[in-house]
Structure formats: C-alpha cells, structure tokens
C-alpha cells in the first residue's frame, strides 16, 4: 500500500477509502492486509497494456553442432516459422540452442524466460515437447501459463532419428547419478557408465 500511495501520489488512508468505495480493487492477503495489483495501478494511471495476444516466440534446439551443420536446426526453424505464419502469429523472436534437453543453462531458453516475464509474448512455438526440456514439461507449461503464455507443440511423437540424442541423454543422466553416488574418479563410477554404454551398444 505504501508503494502504491507513492506511485499514485495519494495517502494510504485515501487508498483505503477508495477500496471501501469500490474505486480501486484491492486483494487481501493473510491477516487481512491489502495489496493493490499492478494492473489496478496501470488502470488508474491510464497505462494500457500492449496487446500481445498474437505475439509469439519460436524456440528450436538440437543437441549437437553436428546436427546443426547437417541443417537440422535450420529445417526446424523453417518448419516452426511456417506454422506460425499459417496461424497468423507475429513472431517477435526466433530462439535457438545447441545443447542437451537436460541442460538447464541454455542461453536461448533463458532469453525465452525473459520474454515471458516481461509479458512480451503470449505463445511459445516448439517442434516437440523435448525441444524445451527432456523432463518436467508440465512444470514449464504451468509456469508459462501463470504468465498468460501457452506452449504450442507443432508435432506429436518425437522423430525416430532422435534415437542418438536419447542415448546421449541417458548416458548423461547415468553419469550424473553415478558421480553423485561414487565420485567422478571412482572405479564404480566408471563401471556403471561403461556398463550402460555396453548395454546400449548391444
């Protein structure tokens, strides 16, 4: 309430009166204390939110530079842009990563989060669910939804040629857990990782 009073140039008492009179919409938190949503401040100040209902970001990812050199990334982006045009979306950003779907520190993915948090888009377009993340897609979907952003997945099942990427992700997962259990330099670590590689090779 104090921050709102400074922004609007009125006293906290005046804001409380406006709340009782229905001139401003407050929300109550635990203990009955008032909070004024940012949207209410913008309404009173006459600030209109930009219409982002047709603004979209395209996100493409391949796991290796070899895939990128083969043109997989470009084909993926073209397919997503064609889809966006067919839907009449205004694509404001085309984002691409060359990294594993298990990697949480992807540069383009971080930029995507920034766009969402700044409310610059309403749609994220991806080819397959795993382009965003190998695991936890539902968590991302829920988080994006909390910012009024939806994810549109162009294709259903993962393509058959994604086998090698799945293998690499599996080995990375096993390596990570083995390292935590046994330590990177231990004999057991090497035995577990090599065992998984041999099983896959068979």
Catalytic residues: 63
Instruction: Provide the token pair at 115.
Output: 């766009």
Unique residue bearing structure tokens 């919409």: 25
Give CA separation, 56 vs 28, 48, 86, 138, in Å: 34, 20, 13, 20
For residue 76, the tally of other CB atoms under 10 A from its CB is: 23
Residue-by-residue DSSP string for 95-151? EEEES-TT-S--HHHHHHHHHHHTT--SEEEESSHHHH-SS-HHHHHHHHHHTT-EE
What 3-state class would DSSP assign to 36?
coil
Spatial neighbors of 52 by CB under 8 A, at least 6 apart, are 119, 120, 121, 122
């Amino acid at each position: 309430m104090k921050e709102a009073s400074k922004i609007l140039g009125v006293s906290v008492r005046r804001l409380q009166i406006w709340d009782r009179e229905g001139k401003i919409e407050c929300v109550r938190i635990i203990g009955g204390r008032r909070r004024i949503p940012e949207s209410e401040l913008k309404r009173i100040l006459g600030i209109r939110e930009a219409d982002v209902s047709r603004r979209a970001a395209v996100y493409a990812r391949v796991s290796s530079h070899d895939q990128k050199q083969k043109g997989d990334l470009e084909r993926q982006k073209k397919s997503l842009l064609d889809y966006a045009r067919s839907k009449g979306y205004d694509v404001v950003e085309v984002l691409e990563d060359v990294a594993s779907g298990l990697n949480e520190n992807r540069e383009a993915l971080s930029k995507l989060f920034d766009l969402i948090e700044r409310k610059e888009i309403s749609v994220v377009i991806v080819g397959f669910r795993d382009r965003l993340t190998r695991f936890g897609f539902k968590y991302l979907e829920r988080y994006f939804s909390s910012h009024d952003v939806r994810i549109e997945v162009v294709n259903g099942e993962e393509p058959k040629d994604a086998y090698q990427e799945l293998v690499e992700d599996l080995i990375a997962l096993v390596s990570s857990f083995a390292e935590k259990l046994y330590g990177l330099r231990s004999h057991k670590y090497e035995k577990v990782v090599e065992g998984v590689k041999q099983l896959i090779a068979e």
